[in-house]
Amino acid sequence: MNMQERLAAIKLVLTDCDGVLTDGGVYYGETGEVLKKFNIRDGMGVERLRKFAQVPTGIITGEMSPSVKQRASKLAITELHLGIKDKERVLAEIIERLQIKPNEIAYIGDDVNDLVVRPFVGVFFCPSDALAQVKKQADVVLSLPGGAGCFREMAEMILEAKGIN
């Protein structure tokens, strides 16, 4: 299958959070995490995938971040997995529960801990500022960095492959 066919087959998008939906920065205060910055265009990408292609988005992150929980709620993301150290196990559980084939999943990640899912997804994306070893293994290296609309860029590629403008 060529890349357009692979993208057209996508039925679920999974993403890491820090370094993809955010620029990887976090603001801390006396009580811990205070702020993370999310890109509004990425949120529109989540909405467009769901609304126009019936492709839901899920977040799998190692962090236990209240900010991520709030962002996921605002974007109506129900497939939210926080504090995950074994992304491969969570992905296997999602595949089993949703009865979805690995080639129907797109994943976007930026760091070495995301590479464990690489063999189990149809298309693996990474932001332009991902680590070098992640870029080497990605199917698609996006032109935008994490937190600057890379998720939206990926979403639009999937929508286009499905014939949706």
Q: Angle CA(57)–CA(155)–CA(24) in degrees, nearest 5? A: 75
CA–CA dist 61, 81 (Å, integer) = 6
Q: Is 79 helix (H, G, I), strand (E, B) or coil?
A: strand
For the chain, the average pLDDT equals: 96
Proportion of the chain above pLDDT 70, given as a percent:
100
pLDDT the model gives residue 74? 96
pLDDT the model gives residue 34? 79
Q: Are 141 and 115 spatial neighbours (Cβ–Cβ below 8 Å)?
A: no
109: pLDDT strictly greater than 80: yes
- Could you tell me where the DSSP H helices lie in 2-149? 3-8, 40-53, 66-74, 87-98, 132-137
Chain segment 33-54, per-residue pLDDT in tens? 778 999 999 999 999 999 999 9
pLDDT the model gives residue 33? 75
Q: Are 79 and 94 spatial neighbours (Cβ–Cβ below 8 Å)?
A: yes
Sheet of strand 123-126: strand arrangement: 79-81, 57-60, 12-15, 105-108, 123-126, 140-141
136: pLDDT strictly greater than 90: yes
31: pLDDT strictly greater than 90: no
Residue 147, classified by CB atoms within 10 Å of its CB into exposed (0-12), middle (13-18) or buried (19+), is buried
- The H or E element spanning position 151 is helix 150-161
Span 43-71, average pLDDT: 96
Span 107-121, average pLDDT: 97
Identity of the residue numbered 140: V
CA–CA dist 77, 157 (Å, integer) = 20
**What domains sit in the chain, N to C, each tagged with a CATH number?**
3-161 (3.40.50.1000)
Span 145-164, average pLDDT: 98
Is the pTM higher than 0.85? The answer reads yes
| Main-chain dihedrals φ then ψ at residue 131, nearest 5 degrees | -60, 150
